[in-house]
Amino acid sequence: RVYVSPSPQPNAFASGRSPRKAVVCVTEGLLTMCPPDELRGVLAHELGHIKNRDILIGSVAAAVATGISFVANIALWAGMFGGDGEDDPPLPVLLLTAMLAPIAASILQLALSRSREYEADRSGAELVGDPEPLARALLRLEAAAQRTPMHVSPAQASAYIVNPLTGRTARFSALFQTHPPTAERVARLRSQQVSAPA
């Protein structure tokens, strides 16, 4: 199923844990701003996420990151209030572990998100039989997102083909971005060799 969001920012995302339950949502901005070949490239990218089960993979990664944070907090509280003190790790070690474990888990989750974007780009280019329409669409969407940020939760930003929050003034380290740099995605697409679809 395909849905249309009334947002003026050109963007799209896929949702659903399996191909049978998957949906793709495109914005009105995407439909009005992109020529047909670029729109096909964007839709192929989203179908790539569905084919590769990226939504399920992302959900599992988020659950693992949450579990790591939970275990780190339990270890901290157990160390502070429950041990006999002799063989227990020192409190500064527990504090450091409780702070760093969730950060490390989040960094790994974000790295996974970026790698899934590259894979969806590759899959989408293969589906269309030409990487150029998706490459041009990514450049167009990135420029539009800079001008028209979308009002979505930062936790949902990774679902979109380009980061819908790009136009906001806050800038974060590339380590904490959910999307790889658009220029790098375009370079990879343009160096990709694909055969025409059957």
Active site residue 46: yes
Instruction: Name the DSSP letter for residue 46.
Output: H
What integer pLDDT is reported at residue 62 of this predicted model? 74
Q: Which residues of 136-170 are buried (b: 16+ CB within 10 A; e: fewer)?
A: bbbbbbbbbbeebebebeeeebbbbbbbbbbeeee
Answer whether residue 7 shows pLDDT above 70. yes
Determine which one of 46, 117, 126, 142 is catalytic.
46
Q: What's the start-to-end Cα distance of the chain, in Å?
A: 23
Q: How confident is the model at residue 176 (pLDDT cuts 50, 70, 90)?
A: low
pTM here is 0.77
Average pLDDT, the chain: 82
> How many Cα atoms are found within 13 Å in the side-chain-facing hemisphere of 114?
17
Which pair of structure tokens corresponds to residue 49? 């996420």
Q: Is 24 helix (H, G, I), strand (E, B) or coil?
A: strand
User: pLDDT tens, 46-55?
Assistant: 999 999 888 7
Q: How confident is the model at residue 175 (pLDDT cuts 50, 70, 90)?
A: very low
Answer whether residue 91 shows pLDDT above 70. no
Residue at 27: amino acid letter: T
Average pLDDT over residues 66-78: 74
Q: How confident is the model at residue 83 (pLDDT cuts 50, 70, 90)?
A: low
CB contact set of 50 (below 8 Å; sequence gap of 6+): 14, 16, 19, 22, 24
